[in-house]
Amino acid sequence: MGSQEVLGQAARLASSGLLLQVLFRLITFVLNAFILRFLSKEIVGVVNVRLTLLYSTTIFLAREAFRRACLSGGTQRDWTQTLNLLWLTVPLGIFWSLCLGWVWLQLLEVPDPNVVPYYGTGVLLFGLSAVVELLGEPFWVLAQAHMFVKLKVLAESMSVILRSVLTALLVLWLPHWGLYIFSLAQLLYTAVLVLCYMLYLIKLLRSPESSKQLTLPISKVTQLLPSISRRKAFVNWNEARLTWSFFKQSFLKQILTEGERYVMTFLNVLNFGDQGIYDIVNNLGSLVARLIFQPVEESFYIFFAKVLEREKDASLQKQDDVAVAAAVLESLLKLALLTGLTVTVFGFAYSQLALDIYGGAMLSSGSGPVLMRCYCLYVLLLAVNGVTECFTFAAMSKEDVDRYNFTMLALSSSFLVLSYLLTSWCGSVGFIMANCFNMGIRITQSLSFIHHYFQESPHRPLAGLLLSPVLLGVFVLSAGITSVSELYQYRDPHWSTCSEQESGLPSSEGDAYVTPPPLKAQGLLQRKIIRV
């Protein structure tokens, strides 16, 4: 398969992923607004932070390294060995599910059963749902390696919609079920997702015409299952060693990805209600990053992994493929930078207005605007980091991955310490500040690798980060105009009086208003969102 064809498939996968993320986020956004009318913020906090963290940690530790290793190198390989390696995610998932489940039940603070009922059952079912999802991992990797775009869109759309419908119905009819509602919905989601991939591939293999047309590397359904042969090793040991390198890195990356949830869960810097509210604001602030940057990163990681060969610099590879990869990387960097700057410039000025429209004066008068403004800067860093890391991880050799692990270890440790200190000082905004710091360090590491990778070639993809002075001037002018318009808008006496009366804050004509401490501001934020 040529690099141009792979590029076309990666672009289609990214666009389909973008539409899929829009659907997911809209459904989740509406669902959160709906369930908050029927359930307490403590239940929402336990589900969105603690139980979701259990599920995501189990999934990430069990499969992330296998995905990155087995998606590298194209489709020309011994797929029997690759599938055998992927089936190891299931026992590994069972191990992590049991270990983490014990920690969640025995070592962490257990919520009050009168406020959050059925916590133990929730832990068990979320752990079980992670294991169920891992049963479909060989099918998922095989489909991704062959760019089955429609399958990914269909499977994930159907799973999310059914989960959302079941959650809404149970919340409406049986709100006293508590965590049973979200646990059963999560189990349904993973079961439907796995069944979609299994049934689709089984149907293809049983249809000789379809399997020949798609040039699948296997011809029988039984070849999807693990098999032992006396003539060759059970797994490809090069893939296995690369998986181990990625596994050491994935553990550290998970801390960086979900660091604020780990700090909230293990250090108890916020109560369950505060955790739920922070998670809602976090999802709202990171909406652009999840809608645009995540599908682009996932799709073009596959593109770079297929086009480039590990263990070789750019000068030692096919120059046509290197030229295409460099051009794509330069375009992606420019796209990420422009999108991130647009969000930062306009989001910074309109954060308070957006929150006022979404949640009223109680939300826009507390710590919400500061949190959203921090997110605007964080979105810019997320955009650049997503593109640089998707190339870096696709092109790194095993030795490079091992060296990078030491950097990730330092970043993970500093992030946890910094998150705790900043959160103690300025509340939930400290999580965003710590994330910005660590994201900047990760971007620097990736840029250094890319510069070294293309140093001996005529290509300079990092030029995508150099914007023209005219364009930068437009952004600066836009930032100034929007900032002035914000000052003019919020100096309106009528708006100010209405906001103060609704929020219960002292009027500017009376006692001087003293900015509340971060946790108090978060409490105001919680009460308003619960009223939505």
pLDDT one-digit tens code per residue, 366-407: 666 777 888 888 888 988 988 898 888 888 877 787 787 777
Provide, rounded to the nearest whole percent, the portion of the chain with pLDDT above 90.
16
Q: Are 353 and 510 in contact (CB under 8 A)?
A: no
Instruction: Give the angle subtended at the CA of 448 by the CAs of 442 and 450, to the nearest 5°.
Output: 105
3-state secondary structure of 38: coil
Binned at pLDDT 50, 70 and 90, residue 10 comes out as low
Rounded-to-integer distance, Cα 446 and Cα 325, Å: 16
Q: Are 310 and 440 in contact (CB under 8 A)?
A: no
Q: Are 77 and 258 in contact (CB under 8 A)?
A: no
| Residue of higher predicted confidence among 153 and 118 | 118
Distances (CA, A) of 468 to 280, 326, 337, 463, 480: 37, 20, 12, 11, 19
pLDDT recorded at residue 477? 93
pLDDT recorded at residue 7? 55
pLDDT one-digit tens code per residue, 146-162: 767 678 778 887 888 88
pLDDT recorded at residue 473? 92
pLDDT above 70 for 4: no
Q: Which amino acid is at 195?
A: L
Rounded-to-integer distance, Cα 241 and Cα 197, Å: 27
Q: Give the pair of three-digit tokens for residue 169.
A: 């119905």
pLDDT recorded at residue 505? 37
Q: Are 203 and 176 in contact (CB under 8 A)?
A: no
DSSP for residue 78? -
Residue ranges covered by each domain of the chain: 1-217+231-266, 308-532
Helices and strands, number each (H, E), in the chain: 23, 0
- pLDDT (mean) for 177-195: 93
Distances (CA, A) of 238 to 243, 391, 427: 9, 21, 46
Provide, rounded to the nearest whole percent, the portion of the chain with pLDDT above 70.
76
pLDDT above 50 for 503: no
User: pTM of the predicted model, to two decimals?
Assistant: 0.67
3-state secondary structure of 251: helix
pLDDT one-digit tens code per residue, 47-68: 988 999 999 999 988 988 888 8
DSSP string, 395-447: H--HHHHHHHHHHHHHHHHHHHHHHHHHHHHHTTHHHHHHHHHHHHHHHHHHH
- pLDDT (mean) for 120-141: 93
DSSP string, 198-214: HHHHHHHHH-HHHHHHH
| Average pLDDT value over all residues in the chain | 77
Q: Which amino acid is at 430?
A: G
Q: Which amino acid is at 26?
A: L
Q: Are 62 and 193 in contact (CB under 8 A)?
A: no
- The residue among 522, 99, 526, 525 whose CA lies nearest residue 269 is 522
Rounded-to-integer distance, Cα 423 and Cα 410, Å: 20
